[in-house]
Structure 1
Amino acid sequence: MQSLKELWDYREMLGSLVKKDLKTRYKGSVLGFLWTFINPLLQLLVYSLLFSVIMRAGIENYGMFLFVALVPWLFFSTSLMAGASSIMGAQGLIEKIYFPRIIIPISVVCSNFLNMVFSFIIVFAALLITGVGLNPAMGFLPVLMAIEFFFALGLTLIVSAVNVYFRDLEYILGILTQVWMYVTPVLYPIDMAPEAIQGIILNVNPMSSVIIAYRDILFYQKFPDVSTLLMTVLCAIISMIVGVLVFGKLQKGFAEEL
């Protein structure tokens, strides 16, 4: 409770860090904030060409099938990658003033979350343009986004703290997130995977049910199977508890390691 109170007391600093990250992310570039929308669109174009033209996934309207899953996945993977180096990147700030160190990885996840929210503007526009349309199931989106947010935040707290002591982690994480994406049904429907590993993909990988839920709501226009999300909710709770405990334990040595 004391930690939560302290975090609340520094809420303005958290807001300032999030605003700073959003403003400086594309500072100096010609297109600036438009890269928030261009990045997912470029990845959408590459994967669409790869799986629709070259490898021929055989899925109707594959572009939207991919887009509705790619945007939330980019939030998750970018949060982990940026979060891993966040404490190292804030070394000057940490050495100068006191503040709850946990604010740094939280600000990273929050800024990437807002970036995802902005990207959904393009998603909704694309749904209308392609004729998929909007639907009542979208009312469940805030719940789904909250589940993914806390799952990502818990893991980010862990990797941001561990990376201070084991600095190869951020490079290893780059490889792991790539592998993680391919074992998550982002680029393909779950039934395209061999039956022998479908259960593993769903039951061992918490992000699978999240991505499937996004696709159910936005692409298939139906409410997701809540039962499949229960494991992810549990994983989000566990990752938050472990993340806070690990970060709280390791932050005591940040000053010496930095």
Structure 2
Amino acid sequence: MLSYFSGIWRDRYILQSLVKTDLNLKYKKSILGVAWSVLTPLGLVVIIGTVYSIIFGMKPEDFIPGLFAGLNPWIFLSSSADGGTLSFIGAEGYLKQTNVNAQIFPVRGVLVNFTNLLYSIIAFFIIYFFLKPGAFSLNMLAVIPGLIILLIFAIAISNIGAVVNLNIRDFQPLQSLIFQGLFYATPIIFPARILKEKGFDYLYKINPFYYMIEIIKTPLLGEEIPSLNIYMTAIIISLISLFLSILMVMREKKKIAFKL
């Protein structure tokens, strides 16, 4: 455990440089640049929100903010998981030709996606201010600890994806399929109360992604703060996931270059 974090600290400047390079390359020669980090979730929100607000019989100005607040952390988690599966493979040159610590590469993709998440949250606040300026409150500050917990969980699933895909190269498409299913099983498009009213609340209570979305979505809307139970569950899930993922990475560390 200690060697995992000490390795990241030793190569922190390399990690910082890689993240900066990834962000620059992503938006190189792009007319809109970082605006795509905002336009992508916003476009999905407008399309999905317009349709589902009609289905659920809700006003778009009431439905769309909740959807936007939930979709942002979901995109971050799914992108981090997807990027994690390719993190070791994409760093083959570094891992075979240098002595850089392998554990920085799953973290690299997560930090890039986390930067995009922050841009999207800023955009959310701007749009939400025009839709519901009266909803802004100190409750929104609760999103800060939520982002820390979310970041830890994202690093964990990125680590796990990196190790599993290193050994089973078919894992990436399988993971994408799993995440597609989880998207519709997690209360993002629809409120959790709908499942609860129908007696299927256990479907989201056993879903770890529900707690990760909830600690971001609820504070962003400014109406209330998630319960202590939700925060504690999210913290426990994140820490256990991180611990297991670190064990997986460190166990494979010396073999990674030979498996690429």
Query: TM over 0.5: same fold?
Result: yes
Task: Report the alpha carbon displacement of residue 218 of structure 1 after superposing the two structures with TM.
Answer: 2.2
2:213, 2:52 → 1: CA distance? 18
SS of 1:27's equivalent in the other structure is coil
Ranges of 4+ aligned residues in structure 1 off by more than 6 Å: none
AA matched with 2:110: V
2:222, 2:207 → 1: CA distance? 22
1:75, 1:208 → 2: CA distance? 14
Per-residue deviation, residues 201-250 of structure 1 (Å, max 9, x unmatched) = 12x11221232333322225111112122222111011110000001112
Per-residue deviation, residues 81-114 of structure 1 (Å, max 9, x unmatched) = 1111111111122222111100000111111111
Alignment CA distance shift 1:211-1:7 (3 Å)? closer
Whether 1:29 aligns to 2:53 is no
SS of 2:100's equivalent in the other structure is coil
Structure 2: 5+ residue runs without aligned partners?
A: none
Matched residue count: 255
Q: Contact 2:218–2:224 at 8 Å: present in 1 too?
A: yes
SS of 2:80's equivalent in the other structure is helix
Q: Contact 2:143–2:220 at 8 Å: present in 1 too?
A: no
1:141, 1:23 → 2: CA distance? 27
> Which of residues 200, 213, 217 in structure 2 aligns to 1:197?
200
Name the counterpart of 1:186: 188
2:29, 2:193 → 1: CA distance? 44
1:141, 1:181 → 2: CA distance? 21
AA matched with 2:180: Q
Name the counterpart of 1:160: 162
SS of 2:34's equivalent in the other structure is helix
Q: Contact 2:139–2:223 at 8 Å: present in 1 too?
A: yes
AA matched with 2:185: V
AA matched with 1:199: Y
Name the stretch that deviates more: 117-126 or 187-196: 187-196
Alignment CA distance shift 1:91-1:232 (3 Å)? same
1:122, 1:39 → 2: CA distance? 11
Name the stretch that deviates more: 28-37 or 144-153: 28-37
Q: Contact 1:162–1:250 at 8 Å: present in 2 too?
A: no
